[in-house]
Chains A and B, each alone.
Chain A
Amino acid sequence: MAQFIDTLVGIFQSSGFARLGEPGGWLYAVMICVGCFLLYLAIVKEFEPLILLPMAFGMILANLPGSGVIHMEYFVGDGLEHPMWTQILNNGGLADMLYMGVKLGIYPPLIFLGIGTMTDFAPLISNPKSLLLGAAAQFGIFGTYMGARLLAATGLVDFTQKQSAAIAIIGGADGPTAIFVTSRLAPELLGSIAVAAYSYMALVPVIQPPIMKALTSQKERVVVMKQLRSVSKTEKIIFPVMVTIVVSLIVPDAAVLVGMLMLGNLMKECGVVDRIQKTAGNELMNIITIFLALSVGCTTSANTFLNTRTLFIIVLGLIAFSFGTAAGVLCGKVMYLLTGGQVNPLIGSAGVSAVPMAARVSQKVGQSENPQNFLLMHAMGPNVAGVIGSAVAAGILINIFS
């Protein structure tokens, strides 16, 4: 009988419940609650559920005391230049193996491949000036970098240059790009940055309209834009090849992101590789989304997530997003003035990637002012230009800091 009770006590003492009661154990409970809250947002509010659901579940899994789902100490630590490959291969489990795809920068480009198969660059090709709006929205990234550095200068938080750059990329409103840059520059912040980036992307319809309305007059918002010219198939095929070569020659660090995006798009436009195009855009992308979101969720351990840094990342992320939106709209206003009122400034806000949500917001705000106005296709130009712009900005940041 005594042996039976000893066994039961032993099992209880090694259980997660006992560890929750240990000093600092409450932090795990808080993280599990945060995970459940994110699950609520994904399931009930439908905030980017494809990413947020596996990410939130990964967060819960990684914070179950004693589960040992992931060993972040093998990947990140003081003085650790390279992951501890031997330890990972000897002791690592599923989450460790999946996380290698993030650490090695494999998943984000594969997601870009899938995005490429679903993206239509015709609105951008027919209106190349959209690229200016896509470029303007990247002000958010660099403005936030400066904000993070100023914050560090005040001594409130100790963000390094690399960490500031990783936080700033949230302003690109592009989840895979944010993860790609952060895994290279500041892997210790990956969980916080990924959660902030995807949360804000889901909140685009809430964050953007007030900024758009505040910066534009009613006269500007009701502008009906001219119909776009039709783009030939040859132009659509030349575009991805040309962009890859030009961008990669100037910023080689952006080659993998831009290249995979354009490869996916070339598959779509050429029309001769229907089978692999469908695989890249559906099955492969879905599989990678699960791997990416789950493994990123698993990186959010209590000691790296529950601190003031995360709070600052969330605040800076919001600034980045708002700043990018404002810069896009202001650039749209400049174009409105220069073209004699032919450009509706509302399409400028779509320059912050977040495809196609940001373009839909432009359409919605424009239509609320003028029900006969259809801005969607016009906003898709800056929207896809924003994807290229944020990938270029990511390449520049990696080039400068790595």
Chain B
Amino acid sequence: MNLGSDVVITITGIVLVFLILVLLMAIITLEGKIFTSLNEKKKAAKAAPKAPAAKPAAPVQSAAAAPAPQVEEGIPGDVVAAIMAAIHAMGNGKYTLKAVRRANNGWGKAGVNDTTAPF
């Protein structure tokens, strides 16, 4: 029995498996970088024409001139104020709050969906 050849086979096998998987890793990493840069370029291209348009949308008077939102009974004023502030912060003054109504609480469902859908 020649154990020397078995040692060579073992080392060759391990080295080959590693080399092939490292090669795949390099290709996938490169591919990932290409796609990430492409996505960033796309995002930049989309954002570019919007930037100048945002400037004239600045006047705050439009929000003040907007009619008061229709608020369902039982919703306190501070909640409406918080919603308004959040919309203003996220939309940068672009959106106006027209009405506030109670809806079925979908957050629990959204949470469950978010954690279980990938599996």
Chain A residues engaging chain B, CB cutoff 8 angstroms: 124-126, 128-129, 131-132, 134-135, 138-139, 141-143, 145-146, 149-150, 152-153, 161, 164, 229, 232, 234-235, 238-239, 242-243, 246-247, 250-251, 376-377, 385, 388-389, 392-393, 396-397, 400
Instruction: Compute how far the CA of A368 lies from the CA of B7 in the bound complex, rounded to whole angstroms.
Output: 40
Whether B118 sits at the interface, judged by CB under 8 Å, is yes
CB distance from A350 to the nearest CB of B (A): 15
Contact of A135 among B3, B17, B26, B39 (CB under 8 A): B17
Given the interface pairs A128-B32, A141-B13, A396-B16, the reply to whether A246 lies near B27 with Cβ below 8 Å is yes
Instruction: Compute how far the CA of A247 lies from the CA of B20 in the bound complex, rounded to whole angstroms.
Output: 7
Do A232 and B35 touch across chains, with their CB atoms under 8 A apart?
A: yes
Whether B25 sits at the interface, judged by CB under 8 Å, is yes
Do B28 and A396 touch across chains, with their CB atoms under 8 A apart?
A: no
CB distance from B115 to the nearest CB of A (A): 8
Interface centre among A139, A161, A392, A400 (most CB of B within 10 A): A392
Given the interface pairs A135-B17, A138-B14, A141-B13, the reply to whether A247 lies near B35 with Cβ below 8 Å is no
Do A250 and B20 touch across chains, with their CB atoms under 8 A apart?
A: yes
Chain A contacts for B32, CB-based, 8 A? 125-126, 128, 229, 235
Contact of B35 among A145, A161, A235, A392 (CB under 8 A): A235
Given the interface pairs A152-B1, A235-B35, the reply to whether A397 lies near B13 with Cβ below 8 Å is yes
Whether B68 sits at the interface, judged by CB under 8 Å, is no
Whether B62 sits at the interface, judged by CB under 8 Å, is no
CB distance from B36 to the nearest CB of A (A): 8
Binary per-residue interface labels of chain B (8-42) against chain A in the complex, 1 for a CB within 8 Å, 0 otherwise: 01101110111011111111110110011001000
Chain A contacts for B22, CB-based, 8 A? 131-132, 135
Do A153 and B1 touch across chains, with their CB atoms under 8 A apart?
A: yes
Instruction: Compute how far the CA of A131 lies from the CA of B24 in the bound complex, rounded to whole angstroms.
Output: 8
Instruction: Compute how far the CA of A131 lies from the CA of B26 in the bound complex, rounded to whole angstroms.
Output: 10
Given the interface pairs A234-B35, A238-B31, the reply to whether A146 lies near B24 with Cβ below 8 Å is no
Task: Supply 13 A–B pairs (Cβ within 8 Å), ascending by A.
Answer: A128-B29, A132-B22, A135-B17, A135-B21, A138-B17, A143-B10, A146-B10, A153-B1, A234-B35, A242-B31, A246-B20, A246-B27, A247-B24
Contact of B31 among A142, A235, A377, A388 (CB under 8 A): A235
Whether B6 sits at the interface, judged by CB under 8 Å, is yes
Instruction: Compute how far the CA of A125 lies from the CA of B31 in the bound complex, rounded to whole angstroms.
Output: 9
CB distance from A224 to the nearest CB of B (A): 16
Instruction: Compute how far the CA of A142 lies from the CA of B24 in the bound complex, rounded to whole angstroms.
Output: 21
Chain A contacts for B31, CB-based, 8 A? 125, 235, 238-239, 242
Instruction: Compute how far the CA of A251 lies from the CA of B12 in the bound complex, rounded to whole angstroms.
Output: 13
Binary per-residue interface labels of chain B (89-119) against chain A in the complex, 1 for a CB within 8 Å, 0 otherwise: 0000000000000000000000000000011
Chain A contacts for B24, CB-based, 8 A? 128, 131, 243, 246-247, 388
